[in-house]
Structure 1
Amino acid sequence: MEDGDDVVVLAAGVPPTDEELHALFTVSWSNHQPRSFRPILARSLTWVTAHRGGHLVGFVNVVGDGGLHAFILDTTIHPDERRRGLGVRIVRYAADEARRLGAAWLHVDYEAHLQSFYERCGFGPTAAGLMRL
């Protein structure tokens, strides 16, 4: 293990490269299709990355409405890093950044099996609607 491999560094607003995101998403999501993330990140309020030993091991995107609402999207943790608290750390960091940037409400949609994870991040349940387009 190289120096620093045991340390996870969180950063907000430092854009990951497409190559870094593709590498992370490929091992994390079975249905990932390569695409450019530049247009997505250009419309984001901010994003948070986690690196270990120079490798991207976590990512969360925060999209804002230009007012008081922000939304968590694409929370992704490398499979080798899961169940160690990194996911909670990165989402809480994203919440702090959204607050710092003026958001008063942070929203997240998730599948039922992720409810306890997002509760540990500080989210409470709410009724919402969803339409597939």
Structure 2
Amino acid sequence: MLELRIDPFPSAAELNALIFVAWGRPQSRDFTAILSRSLAHIGAYHDNQLVGFVNVAWDGGIHAFILDTSVHPDMQRQGIATRLVKEATRVARERGAEWLHVDFEPRLTGFYRACGFKPTKAGLIKLV
């Protein structure tokens, strides 16, 4: 059975492993400082194993930002990402955010629209 946990603080090894299998980006990062400043983060656990994750960063005011939505490939296409984003939306609203932003690759447009996001115009500068 899948369990969603609010602010679970998974270990760096767990989170790096999930991001690697979900996105193919090897990382060796300690997320403790990032997550401690986030408005919220949600972990999806199956048999006590981290299989999904989303971070809700914020500006300290009314704007929150969905980041790092990840689901283990073996668990994809089961609605886990949708549940994570909907729970992140609920928690962000409950914690005082008035706006929830997300940036995503074009191939994820349908997913985020199904989660309730509307298209907007925005600006972007690539720094690296």
TM range (shorter): over 0.9
Alignment of 1:58 onto 2:52 = yes
The residue type paired with residue 91 of structure 1 is V
Counterparts of residues 62-101 of structure 1 (less than 5 Å): 62-101=56-95
- For 1:66 and 1:37, the matched residues in 2 are separated by 19
- For 2:110 and 2:76, the matched residues in 1 are separated by 14
The residue type paired with residue 54 of structure 2 is V
Deviation at 1:24, TM superposition (A): 0.9
- For 1:87 and 1:131, the matched residues in 2 are separated by 27
Q: Which residue of 2 aligns with 1:30?
A: 24
The residue type paired with residue 37 of structure 2 is R
- For 1:88 and 1:128, the matched residues in 2 are separated by 24
Across the aligned residues of Structure 1 and Structure 2, the Cα RMSD in angstroms comes to: 0.9
Runs of 4+ off more than 3 Å: none
- The aligned length equals 127
Q: Percent identity?
A: 50
The residue type paired with residue 87 of structure 2 is Y
- For 1:113 and 1:132, the matched residues in 2 are separated by 20
**Mean CA deviation greater in 48-57 or 34-43:** 34-43
Structure 2: tracts of 5 or more residues without a match: none
Structure 1: tracts of 5 or more residues without a match: 1-6
**Mean CA deviation greater in 23-32 or 89-98:** 23-32
Alignment of 1:17 onto 2:11 = yes
- For 1:72 and 1:128, the matched residues in 2 are separated by 15
Q: TM-score, normalised by structure 2?
A: 0.95
After superposition, give the CA deviation of every residue in 1:41-60 in whole Å (9 maximum; x if it has no partner): 12211100000011000000
Q: TM-score, normalised by structure 1?
A: 0.92
Alignment of 1:44 onto 2:38 = yes
Deviation at 1:83, TM superposition (A): 1.0
The residue type paired with residue 132 of structure 1 is K
